[in-house]
């Protein structure tokens, strides 16, 4: 992994992300949360900034970010919503939009999302909608948000019918990932985030995958190493998104593990975290792919072992017809079938369009059969 990362020890690592509109920087390092104001000033300009955060993260980091914004010349306010995926709803976004209007934000101003993926997805959607779009800065505080959700411009809320069914593509102007924030995550939340890191290894980076096998993130990993892991994951996602910003083709591979994962997440009323659901979704589809003869046995074996090494689940006992029913409502439904991402080897996946009957067979082969 070391040969693919950039940056000098102790210094922030900056990953530049191109988009069709403009490029933006992802700044990864220790203590960089205090730089948010000055970096936002350079990236967005504007006079007012509204920090959006949830009820767990706001007491920890919202004031520090707001102070940094004020020091950089912004008139800053803070909006807080009740933490949790169950609140990732249009009604919450509507409240956020009301707050932006009340604070008098104009088209020159900035929304600053401080929190995990739920915060980033909702603050991002609010930024996309408010006045038909204003600047957005992402300050991810969970590992999952640092390696995945803060980058790439997907914003969304859930509908009764399923995950992320209402959203917009809205790229950030800047992402500031302070790995020191990971210190306040509980071990469970940290583990949950690891699902998306493992995903990046399976889809694009066998070297990262092997490195994780030797150095599970739940073991002893230094802050410096964590910063490199975050930066490497951002690079992987950046390269995929850069070649297919609106998910017409290649970007679908970022959904590896999500077809079954999203179904389990929604059907279980969000009692299991997103990363854990992705982890078990990857194991299920890998077992199914082996059962179909699309990959060798070592593929599900290595994925399951790495998932288990990070303390994450490898299977679900949900009824198969429920999984199929949720999957048919997902965005990856096309015509009479569904697009699924299947592993061919560690580091290589492909998107296959399967009929609903074939998808049902994959679920039978892969779910409720694991160790």
Ligand X SMILES: NC(=O)c1ccc[n+]([C@@H]2O[C@H](COP(=O)([O-])OP(=O)(O)OC[C@H]3O[C@@H](n4cnc5c(N)ncnc54)[C@H](O)[C@@H]3O)[C@@H](O)[C@H]2O)c1
Piece of the chain touching ligand LNCXM5UN by CB under 6 A; list 58-66, 94-102, 151-159, 357-365: 151-159
Going by C-alpha positions, the residue among 337, 243, 245, 343 that lies closest to residue 289 is: 343
Determine whether the annotation assigns residue 199 to a binding site: no
Active site residue: 41, 200, 238, 262, which one? 262
State which residue, 41 or 332, has the beta carbon closest to ligand X: 332
**Any alpha helices (H) in the chain, and if so which ranges?**
36-44, 63-71, 90-102, 117-129, 143-144, 187-204, 206-214, 223-243, 258-267, 274-291, 298-309, 320-327, 356-366
Considering only 149, 255, 314, 316, the residue that binds ligand X (CB under 6 A) is 149
Q: Which two tokens mark 192?
A: 């949950």
CB 99 within 8 A of CB 126: no
Of 258, 287, 302, 310, the residue at the interface with ligand LNCXM5UN (CB under 6 A) is 258
Q: What angle do CA 4, 7, 151 make, to 5 degrees?
A: 75
Q: Please confirm, yes or no, whether 331 is among the known catalytic residues.
A: no
Active-site residue flag, 308? no
Region near ligand LNCXM5UN per CB under 6 A, out of 37-45, 132-140, 254-262, 264-272: 254-262
- The distance of closest approach from Cβ of residue 137 to ligand X in the complex, given in angstroms and rounded to an integer, is 15
Q: Which of 41, 238, 255, 304 is catalytic?
A: 255
**Does 341 engage in binding with ligand X (CB under 6 A)?**
no
In our burial notation (b when 16+ CB lie closer than 10 A, e otherwise), range 307-332 reads: bbbbbbbbbbebebebbbebbbbbbb
User: Which residue in the block uniquely carries the two structure tokens 């009740």?
Assistant: 82
Q: The tokens of 84 are what?
A: 């949790």
Strand partners, 354: 338
Q: Residue from 54, 109, 148, 315 that binds ligand LNCXM5UN (CB under 6 A)?
A: 148
Pick the closer one to ligand LNCXM5UN by CB: 33 or 234: 234
Q: Which residues are annotated as a binding site?
A: 117-121, 141-142, 154, 163, 181-184, 196, 258, 274
Q: Which residues are annotated as a binding site for NAD(+)?
A: 117-121, 141-142, 154, 163, 181-184
């Amino acid at each position: 992994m070391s040969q693919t990362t950039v940056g000098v020890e102790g210094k922030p690592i900056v990953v530049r992300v191109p988009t069709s509109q403009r490029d933006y920087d992802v700044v990864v390092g220790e203590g960089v949360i205090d730089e948010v104001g000055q970096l936002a000033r350079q990236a967005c300009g504007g006079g007012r900034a509204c920090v959006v955060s949830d009820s767990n993260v706001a007491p920890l980091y919202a004031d520090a970010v707001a102070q940094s914004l004020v020091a950089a010349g912004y008139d800053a306010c803070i909006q807080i919503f009740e933490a949790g995926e169950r609140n990732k709803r249009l009604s919450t976004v509507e409240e956020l939009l009301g707050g932006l209007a009340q604070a008098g934000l104009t088209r020159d101003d900035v929304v600053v999302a401080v929190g995990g993926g739920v915060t980033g997805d909702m603050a991002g959607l609010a930024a996309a909608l408010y006045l038909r779009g204003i600047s957005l800065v992402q300050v991810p505080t969970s590992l999952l948000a640092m390696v995945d959700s803060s980058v790439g411009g997907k914003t969304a809320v859930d509908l009764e019918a399923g995950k992320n069914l209402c959203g917009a593509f809205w790229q950030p102007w800047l992402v500031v990932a302070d790995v020191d924030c990971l210190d306040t995550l509980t071990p469970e939340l940290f583990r949950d985030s690891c699902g998306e890191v493992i995903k990046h290894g399976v889809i694009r980076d066998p070297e990262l995958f092997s490195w994780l096998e030797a150095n599970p993130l739940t073991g002893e990993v230094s802050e410096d190493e964590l910063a490199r892991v975050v930066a490497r994951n951002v690079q992987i996602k950046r390269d995929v998104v850069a070649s297919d910003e609106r998910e017409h083709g290649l970007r679908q591979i970022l959904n590896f593990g999500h077809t079954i994962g999203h179904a389990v997440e929604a059907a279980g009323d969000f009692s299991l975290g997103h990363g854990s659901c992705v982890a078990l979704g990857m194991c299920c589809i890998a077992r199914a792919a082996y059962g179909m003869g699309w990959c060798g046995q070592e593929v599900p074996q290595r994925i399951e072992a790495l998932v288990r090494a990070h303390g994450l689940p490898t299977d679900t006992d949900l009824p198969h017809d429920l999984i199929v029913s949720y999957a048919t409502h997902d965005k990856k439904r096309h015509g009479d079938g569904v697009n699924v991402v299947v592993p061919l080897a560690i580091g290589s996946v492909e998107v296959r369009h399967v009929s609903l009957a074939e998808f049902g067979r994959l679920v039978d082969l892969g779910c409720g059969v694991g160790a």
